[in-house]
Structure 1
């Protein structure tokens, strides 16, 4: 990698902000957390409805875009770089981290004991909404937030021939040359800051779960030292994967992660409470579709239960803080796919992948509670979520083996997310990269070490709660950045659409198709394919 590919300005500002965050919290974690908590309360009380409306509007926009005429636009010439399975595996594992292994099995218990809509705790109605709300928070709405940035970023790179996957370039249609100045730097650094907070949240959830597993099998006390040891071990693993790059490292890791994830789900489905899983999932789908808009816009202004602030707004903020990263990563691996394919792949593939956890892992845990086999709710309240998760898994046939595999998948999920984040951050903090060129190995590893080091510092200073809070706070400006990207994309595609479709038709005919579109029939490929003409949208 050439030295002049490192964007020293972006790198310096990002490192300065990281220091500004970690040092005060390390010195005085209580005061630092209290200040951030006060800011968060102000945002949720004054801007909470904005998050809800933005999420619902984004979901509607994506449906309109996918099934409208713009959905046929192909993002770049040639065939996709990755198979559909590997592509979905990369997007899914990068986007959800180990959180799905944590919340997928236990989230229902929180809703069952403290339900929304003023329902009676531990009632039949509470039991109906308990498994449904997890599917809602990790379903179409979440993946809609994730999906939106990937479209303007991919369009800027593959159609407008931008040399960078940065957020600022995806806003260029609205902010113009300001994308290269202070405004662009602010947008990019804001994204990096939000991502650091999101990764911290993932590590804060994944590390205690892994520590509980080690304690369960070895008896080692769950201390700060154990947590730090886990993070350091993961950091070594991250660095090895980052060294091998996107195709040899992240792709293989994501593929095997998904294989193991599905294998555990199939085992539990077959040897667990199969009938209850099917019945509860069916009921949850009905409850979700019947109450989708109520759940999407629920604020409880009279009852003031705090349910929306504690759950829906937290999740939407978390997704918004992660979204630019997942958008950049999805854009990076989606060359050759149509806009419709990119949208449906994320909305349907991501949602179904998450529903697999809530319908199988979560409903199995709920069955043990309802049947009196394992007192999940009591363990949750007395010993915490990690202990309740392991108690549920241990109740299964071959429970010890299931626990080991479950923890392994959680660790790999966490590794894949941090790897993808480090890869994206190294890409954003670079410049003048050639098409298809990856950031240098040492630079990718540097960002992986930096991300985990921040978590180690904050864990030592008991500041992870502050980092989680920060991820929600930084989501607020990112909401407006997303609307900038949408506006920029619409301005571009309306101006480019006719020329794009003409070029796509020429390219498909040149590649040996007798007709363009979904019904195309492949002719015999010529011995030497002609050169595909440029689109004409080069900056």
Structure 2
């Protein structure tokens, strides 16, 4: 037992856990003060650093394109004779399901509702068309570039450089050297863990109430808070069980989750009868995105819409970057850098764009046809989960739609948290070789720890704005580390070339 404990970096477990418990207590005891604190910090970040977030996104996108379409793209992640661990289809499914939690369903259904009242959207000739355009932008190439660039860097670290530690900080060793074994590395790893706590809090807090509302609608009993607790426990038990079984079980479950997600899209597309409208509206939104991409990414004037949404989304993806890219890199052994980049873009953009085009247009179509006056419900401040379940009730045999929706959300929750529980458990050891896996007790600990803070946010009834603020604040230090990782990666390539 002493030998096992000696391998664990106790500070990377105790400090985050105590901090999460403290933050949860503060949100419970001082809800108004904590909200005010979040608002003030977010406003300061928006005031001074909005441009910084936008440029980070552009630089990551350009970096992936340079790697993919230059001779560097021929570098294999692994040895020359290494073959891919997974076939392309399964690899692609694992990428999508390890990166897209139930948030992709939640936002696909209601993000256009969040935008429709914004002055920026209202000023457009066709507000519904542009609300979808902005959704595709916020879930498009820049967002995926964060994951993809770091996935390549982590894959290179694991299988080419063959570093002897599986930690977030280890990717910075090329520029920090032995300092990464001391305080510098400790700070970077703590930033990573706190960032991931913020990521899980944002994800669960935003979309779990929808799952709870669906359960309440189907069973006609209970309230949102009770259902949130029950569903959180079910999700934790499922993804913990799969995580304990290892990568083989995770890969199989990702196929199931991806299939159920596809079934949801097919169900809505067919049953709603809006296939033609979805295709036409989707093509228009894609055209808008393509022709206006630069102005969307780098607007001449950074207004409230950019600060409230684009900066939030880049932050949302950044806080997930401490674990998800590590997982993608770990399953990409045997592939060339170009294959990883182009393959991840294909699977990522295909899945997210289809989700938004089908699910967003489902609601927009019902609004335009007059089947359901969603904007009137928004004006009455009806919650998004209630509006979404009401929207599904417009379908024949809507109960089946809600069941598939629930299954898809639970499946995506579990696959994402399978991957991050595995990764964050690896970060918790002082030394862990690539071929070694963390203990089951460690994975169980993090599976439970990740549920504490989001439950605090849900039970205290935090607003969308304040939940978003948690991600934006956590993303700032994380983005700095991400830039250091990219610099370290390119330094590794230069050092490799000099050595050869």
Instruction: Report the equivalent of 1:423.
Output: 422
Q: Is the 8 A contact 1:328 1:424 kept in 2?
A: yes
CA distance in 1, matches of 2:186, 2:325: 18
CA shift, 1:149, in A, is 1.6
CA shift, 1:374, in A, is 1.6
Q: How many residues align?
A: 493
CA distance in 1, matches of 2:214, 2:457: 22
Q: Is the 8 A contact 1:147 1:323 kept in 2?
A: no
- Residue segments in structure 1 that go unaligned for 5+ positions in a row: 501-539
Q: Is the 8 A contact 1:49 1:299 kept in 2?
A: no
Higher RCO, Cα 8 Å, sep 6+: 2
Instruction: Report the equivalent of 1:286.
Output: 287
Q: Is the 8 A contact 2:21 2:452 kept in 1?
A: no
2:296 corresponds to 1:295 = yes
CA shift, 1:408, in A, is 1.2
Cα displacement string for residues 295-327 of structure 1 (whole angstroms, at most 9, x for unaligned residues): 1123745xx4x2112211111111111112111
CA shift, 1:118, in A, is 6.3
CA shift, 1:117, in A, is 6.3
Cα displacement string for residues 36-66 of structure 1 (whole angstroms, at most 9, x for unaligned residues): 2211110111101100011011101110111
CA distance in 2, matches of 1:20, 1:434: 33
CA distance in 2, matches of 1:84, 1:54: 30
Instruction: Report the equivalent of 2:354.
Output: 356
Instruction: Report the equivalent of 1:176.
Output: 177
Partner-residue secondary structure (3-state), 2:321: helix
Q: Is the 8 A contact 2:164 2:434 kept in 1?
A: yes
Partner-residue secondary structure (3-state), 1:149: helix
In structure 2, relative to structure 1, the CA distance for the partners of 1:276 and 1:458 (3 Å cut) is closer
What TM-score does the superposition give when structure 2 sets the normalisation length?
Answer: 0.93
Higher mean Cα deviation, 147-156 or 401-410?
A: 147-156
Instruction: Report the equivalent of 2:99.
Output: 95
Instruction: Report the equivalent of 2:276.
Output: 275
Q: Is the 8 A contact 1:264 1:402 kept in 2?
A: yes
Q: Is the 8 A contact 2:24 2:452 kept in 1?
A: no
Instruction: Report the equivalent of 1:372.
Output: 370
CA shift, 1:221, in A, is 4.0
In structure 2, relative to structure 1, the CA distance for the partners of 1:247 and 1:156 (3 Å cut) is same
Instruction: Report the equivalent of 1:239.
Output: 240
Higher mean Cα deviation, 215-224 or 90-99?
A: 215-224
Instruction: Report the equivalent of 1:32.
Output: 34
In structure 2, relative to structure 1, the CA distance for the partners of 1:463 and 1:266 (3 Å cut) is closer
Instruction: Report the equivalent of 1:515.
Output: none
CA distance in 2, matches of 1:435, 1:480: 26
Which of residues 310, 314, 317 is equivalent to 1:312? 310
CA distance in 1, matches of 2:262, 2:7: 40
CA distance in 2, matches of 1:458, 1:286: 38
Cα displacement string for residues 147-202 of structure 1 (whole angstroms, at most 9, x for unaligned residues): 22212221111111102232211111111111111111111110110111110111
Partner-residue secondary structure (3-state), 1:178: helix
In structure 2, relative to structure 1, the CA distance for the partners of 1:85 and 1:8 (3 Å cut) is same
Instruction: Report the equivalent of 1:490.
Output: 490
CA shift, 1:498, in A, is 7.5
Instruction: Report the equivalent of 2:166.
Output: 165
Instruction: Report the equivalent of 1:211.
Output: 212
Instruction: Report the equivalent of 1:401.
Output: 400
Instruction: Report the equivalent of 2:386.
Output: 387
CA shift, 1:421, in A, is 1.8
What TM-score does the superposition give when structure 1 sets the normalisation length?
Answer: 0.87
Instruction: Report the equivalent of 1:508.
Output: none
CA distance in 2, matches of 1:280, 1:438: 46
In structure 2, relative to structure 1, the CA distance for the partners of 1:477 and 1:299 (3 Å cut) is farther
Instruction: Report the equivalent of 1:519.
Output: none
Partner-residue secondary structure (3-state), 2:450: helix
Considering only CA atoms, is the larger Rg found in Structure 1 or Structure 2? Answer: 1
